[in-house]
Structure 1
Amino acid sequence: MRIGLLTEGGYPYLSGDAGLWCDRLVRGLAQHEFDIYALSRSEQQEDEGWIALPPQVSRVRTAPLWTAEEDGVVYGRHARRRFAECYGDLARTLCAGGPGESSTESSPAEADRFGNALYGLAELAREEGGLVGALRSEAAVSALERACRAPGAPRTAHEARVPDLLAVAAHLERVLRPLSLDWYEHDGLGSVDLCHAASGGVAALPGLLARHFFGVPLLLTEYGVQLRSHYLAAGAETPPAVRSLLAAFHGRLAAEIYRRSDRITPGNAHARRWQERCGADRTKLRTVYPGMDAGPFAEVGESPERTAPDTLVWVGRVEPTKDLVSLLHAFAEIRETRRAEQGSPRTRLRIVGAPAGAEGAAYLTHCQVLAAQLFPDEAAGPHAVGDNPVSFEEVGGPDAPTVADAHASGAVTVLSSVVEGFPIPLVEAMLCGRATVSTDVGAVVEVVGGTGLVVPPRNPHALAEACVALLRDPERRERLGAAARARALELFTVEQNVAAFHGIYLEIVSRSPVRRVVLDETGDPRPFGVPAEARVPGRWTDPATHLAARGGPGWAAGPPVRATLPLPATEAVR
């Protein structure tokens, strides 16, 4: 079958966070054909280029989400009126609902109103050749202002000032840029058997429109819930009116994506609970854990500990949410406890990871200073050796050339986060057969199961007690490590992930209506271009009848009208 894989800032770009998962999926499903529709996040990401693509990727179409040129489209009076109606309806849905009501708890009527406004804007963009100029116009800001000043709007919306309205309008313009793309044609997303959005939010917008215009089924995968990410990203410096309106928009967009998706695959139960709370039908949900390549960790997992039994290891990206401050305070308590037991403490802590951006670099410096203060007689530096109990390193260094080597160097792997989605470092440690101590955040308990110790976050004393318990008992560490490795090999490998999606693809397409007849090079129907029910004689096998039933000429003969593309875009065809 032909899959339209939808990404934002990920595959096929080199710097994409989710690129590795998508690449493993595509390579693992060589029996299918993939068209990649990718939104880039920055000019730097585009300049870095793509990873090497496998032969089953037949086409890549890209567009920047970080910039949009003026489309030069001049709306007539009728088009301006349609835009004002659709954008006004969308703005009013952001100000609907009573006090304390979440944007994802609105009535079906409000959900329909938001969806109709969104698809109305998409239809206008498709017919007129673009939407960028209209979304940046004074009419858009005026529509937002009228919605905020209308009776019944929340007080935070009533208090929105002009700078707040401009900020909200600018954000909506950026998020709605995919509506202006020329991907929604018969030879574009209309030609695929299935759209697979690699994340929610903006990445799923093209899938919504392909479903709206052509009836293409939509599969949504979320390993990190986009709505949750938006809430976390809205800092205290954001004005209340802006925060409220944007939260309402992203909440309604998430609810619409969940409502229209044929199947939703969260990456863990934590993400699944978020999706259900945001309106996802639980009958559509199926948890599919991320797949990791177990090969690099095989040697470590099958060999005994290769380091001193008193070494603790932390591996990950250095940033404030990892709460290394609590870990350092916990380690100071561990050292005192072990000093009382051993006379001369031999416990070491290796912090292995690179800082995430400028904030991460500042946090790393703060942690290094704190470590020096906690151990004044044993200086802790970037490459501490000898009696220094704490070291700060990066993967690729002489003592940790790979992630597997970093985990192998410790008897216990520690995770101290206060915010976590799917804890990849824990899975890596489990594949290495290491016992773990972690905080109860995100999907940690679900991942660890009964193979590690879990303590409350922001509790250095509890973290220290759990680490000491494992340091004292090597037999327990060995039992937990073996159980952890067995659990990781059963649940978190690439093989189980690819097999799960292969089955889901077949399930969705087998239930999809007949939309068209697609012939291969020999003139025979492609098996998934014509789903199974097309083999049964009946009126549904007649494309003309099917088109009439859909109420429009969506698949009528004749070349499609190609709109002027307002966003810079590229396309590569193999």
Structure 2
Amino acid sequence: MRIALLTEGGYPYARGEGGAWCDRLVRGLAHHDFDVYALSRSPRTEAGGRVEVPSHVRRIRAERLWGEPPAAALAPTCGGGRAAGRARRADFLTHYWDFVSALAGGTDGPGDRADRFASGLYGLAEVAADHGGLPDLLCGEDALAALESACRAPGVRPLLGDIVVTELLAVAELLELQLRPLSAPWYGSSELGAVDLCHAVSGGPAALPGLLAKRFCGTPLIVTEYTVRLREALLGHRAAGLSPAVRALLGDYHRLLAGESYRQAALVTPGSTHVRRWQERCGAPRARMRTVYPGIDATRFARAGEAAEAEAAAPAAHADPTLAWVGRIDPAKDIIALLHAFHAIREEEPQARLRIFYLRLRPADERGAAYLGHCRTLAAQLFPYEAADAHAVGESPVSFEEIGSPGAPELADAYAAGDVVVLSSSAEGFPLSLVEAMFCGRPTVSTDVGAVREVIGGTGLVVPPRNPKALADAARDLLRGPERAARLGAAARERALALFTVTGCVDAFRESYLDVVAHHPVRREPLLDAAGDPRPFTAPAESHVPARLAPTPAHPAWARTPEPVGAPSAPGGPLS
């Protein structure tokens, strides 16, 4: 089987868990061929270089969602002189009006917003295919005028009625970046038209090439989300300081794109129930959804997990009970609340320590560096260096340590350094650090955000977010009860090994690929050899499964199994 992997800001670029997850999936399915179509979000995406891909990755295609568009895309290629140019411009404006009027939400147009959005989007893709790209048109005065007219049309929100020229320019520029996949040369018979399946490993722009491949070539699409791409986009717009009118238009673009992606996908695979709820709100049909947890490499944490099992055999209170926090520095991790909680713990447990282990900051991460500095300042104020006597200076009970430093040479060492691991986030998607702590057999205290409750499943303590007192009470209870902490840590490790391993994830997608290709085969002309005879085995055998042997297309086997992959089927299981 030949699979097109559609990525944004991840694989094959060497950055983040998203890219590592894709690499594990590709290597686990070595009997399939993969083509990678990668969208780059920023120069930082490409700065880390590309990972070494296995031999069954046949090709890599890349497109940038940043910077100036390629020179070839800016030069119109329609022959026939002015008449052809006018026809191109007229076709563009017809479809662009449908597109932007759907974003603005006006009542001046046929059909509902979703239909107008889809009509405009696919119409723009056809213009791009027929006339050699869109960037020059999307950046032109005609597009700006159409966008302004859509915002002044009857029925739009008052917020958009007062939009100004600078905001219109910002929207037009950002839409040009988002729509660059429409102009990519990926939709011919030798590119996405030659694959058996498209797998978008995130929502948003990564799904856009898959939508066009289905539209133009009939290629089925799978959409996987381990974080809610729509939510990320909305938070990113706010963090970027965009005005409310600009955020409204771009937010509706991402909402409508998400809805169209879910409707057109043969299968939607959320990474948790938390993500699944977002997808259903955006129109994802339940009959075509299957929860698949991400596969995390457990071998990195095996030594720490085995050591925790040995400790659990004879749990004992330590002289210096220690809390550990592990993750990347970001305001959403709410280390401030953790420091205040630890201050309350120290009032009753004066020997307690807090070790904060953080991933190395990127040079351009000014926001993370500023937040780290703020946390260090607060820690110095809450915990002034303690003196053993009038002439000696003691140590602060709070330490900030970079992973890779002598205190934590490996990630597993950071988790093993704590008697209890704390997750204090005010917002979270799928909590990878929590799963890693579970693999290490550590008891955990977590805030109830994102998919935390679903991941932990009763094997750790969960408290409300932004509540330092609740966080302090739960952590103190585990520090004072080593037997209970040991039991929770052992149960957490068993749960992680049952639900979140690479093997379970790869097996789930292997089955899903076969099901989708069997029910949505691509009908194309047979490939011929040099003599002009059909070449055998050019289509996967799964596409020829007789209907009487296959599950009913509307309700395939995986659609009748509501439990996530690896979840227990008995009532009252640990999933919330």
Range class of TM-score, shorter chain = 0.7 to 0.9
Q: 1:66: Cα distance to partner?
A: 1.5
Work out the CA distance in 1 between the residues paired with 2:512 and 2:415. Answer: 34
Aligned with 1:500 (options 488, 508, 513): 508
Aligned-residue Cα RMSD (Å) equals 2.2
The question of whether the paired residues in 2 share the 8 Å contact of 1:88 and 1:147 is answered with yes
Residue matched to 1:257: 261
1:441 to 416, 424, 449: 449
The equivalent of 2:370 in structure 1 is: 362
1:310 aligns with 321
**C-alpha contact 2:110 2:116 (8 A) present in aligned 1:** no
**Contact map agreement 1:372 1:378 (CA 8 A) in 2:** no
Runs ≥4 in structure 1, deviation > 2 angstroms? 41-49, 106-110, 304-309, 385-388, 517-523, 533-536
Paired position in structure 1 for 2:116: 113
Mapping of residues 261-280 of structure 1, within 5 Å? 261-280=265-284
Q: Distance in 2 between matches of 1:32 and 1:359?
A: 41
Report what 1:93 is aligned to. Answer: 102
Deviation at 1:108, TM superposition (A): 7.1
Give 2:535's aligned amino acid. G
Q: Is 1:531 equivalent to 2:543 in the alignment?
A: yes
Question: How far apart are residue 519 of structure 1 and its match?
Answer: 4.9
| Residue 40 of structure 1: how far off its partner (Å) | 1.7
Match of residue 569 from structure 2: none
TM-score normalised by the chain length of structure 1: 0.87
User: How far apart are the structure 2 equivalents of 1:454 and 1:447?
Assistant: 11
- 2:357 is aligned, of 335, 342, 352, to 352
Would you say the 8 A contact 1:517–1:530 is kept in 2?
Answer: no
Q: 1:289-318 deviations in whole A, cap 9, x for unaligned?
A: 111111111111112459866010000001
Q: Per-residue deviation at 1:77? A: 1.4
TM superposition shift of 1:280: 1.0
- Who is 2:250 aligned against? 246
Structure 2 residue aligned with 1:69 = 70
1:3 aligned partner, one-letter code = I
SS at match of 2:238: coil
What is the number of residues matched between the two proteins? 518
Instruction: Provide, for residues 343-399 of structure 1, a one-character-per-residue CA deviation record: whole Å limited to 9, x for no partner.
Output: xx22110000034611111111111111111112439xxxxx964210000110111
Q: Does 1:413 align with 2:421?
A: yes
How many angstroms does 1:526 deviate by?
A: 2.9
1:419–1:520 distance in 2 versus 1, CA, 3 Å = farther
| 2:135 is aligned with 1:127 | no
| Partner Cα separation in structure 2 for residue 266 and residue 197 of structure 1 | 12
**Aligned residue in 2 for 1:51:** 51
Task: State the shift of 1:209 in Å.
Answer: 0.3
Residues 1:325 and 2:326 are matched in the alignment: no
Q: Bigger CA drift: 110-119 or 60-69?
A: 60-69
SS state of the match for residue 63, structure 2?
strand
Q: Which amino acid aligns with 2:246?
A: V
Q: What's 1:487 paired with? A: 495
* Superposition map of 1:336-415 within 5 A: 336-338=347-349, 345-354=350-359, 355=361, 357-378=365-386, 387-415=395-423
Q: 1:170 aligns with which of 164, 169, 173?
A: 173
Which amino acid is 2:341 matched to? A
Q: Distance in 2 between matches of 1:417 and 1:403?
A: 19
Q: Which moved more, 1:109-118 or 1:298-307?
A: 298-307
Equivalence for 1:233: 236
Report the Cα distance in structure 1 between the residues aligned to 2:374 and 2:47, rounded to whole angstroms: 33
Q: SS at 1:76's partner residue?
A: helix
SS in 2 for 1:220: strand
SS of aligned partner of 2:112:
helix
Work out whether residues 196 and 521 of structure 2, in 8 Å CA contact, stay in contact via their aligned partners in 1. Answer: no
| DSSP 3-state at the match of 1:398 | coil
Measure the CA separation in 2 of the matches of 1:162 and 1:262. Answer: 41
Please state if 1:422 is matched with 2:430. Answer: yes
Q: Determine if contact 1:517/1:525 at 8 Å carries over to the other structure.
A: no
CA-CA distance at 1:42 after TM superposition:
3.0
Letter in 2 for 1:136: C
1:455 corresponds to 2:463: yes
Are the equivalent residues in 1 in contact too, given 2:326–2:356 (CA < 8 A)?
A: yes
1:327–1:463: 8 Å Cα contact kept in structure 2? yes
Q: Partner of 2:90 in structure 1?
A: 81
Offset, 1:419: 0.6
From the superposition, tell whether residues 518 and 350 of structure 1 become closer, same or farther in structure 2 (CA, over 3 Å).
farther
Could you give the per-residue CA deviations for residues 308-347 of structure 1, whole angstroms, max 9, x where no partner exists? 6601000000111111111001001101012xxxxxx221
Match of 2:315 in 1: none
Hey, what's the Cα distance between the residues in 2 that align with 1:260 and 1:270? 21
In 1, Cα distance between equivalents of 2:63 and 2:474: 49
Other-structure match for 1:220: 223
Mean Cα deviation higher: 166-175 or 57-66: 57-66
SS where residue 39 of structure 2 aligns?
strand
Q: AA paired with 1:84?
A: L
The answer to whether the aligner puts 1:153 opposite 2:156 as a matched pair is yes
Structure 2 residues not aligned, in runs of 5+? 79-83, 313-317, 388-392, 549-576
Shift of 1:69: 2.7
Structure-2 change in CA distance of 1:152 and 1:527 (3 Å):
closer
Given that residues 115 and 256 in structure 1 are in contact (C-alpha distance below 8 angstroms), is that contact kept between their aligned partners in structure 2? yes
TM-score under structure 2 length normalisation: 0.86
SS in 1 for 2:307: coil
Aligned position for 1:570: none
Question: Structure 1 200/520 Cα, relative in aligned 2: closer, same or farther at 3 Å?
Answer: farther
Distance in 2 of aligned mates of 1:430 and 1:47: 32
The answer to whether structure 1 residue 23 and structure 2 residue 23 are counterparts is yes
CA contact (8 A) 2:106 2:154 kept: no
CA drift of 1:535 comes to 11
Amino acid at match of 1:422: F
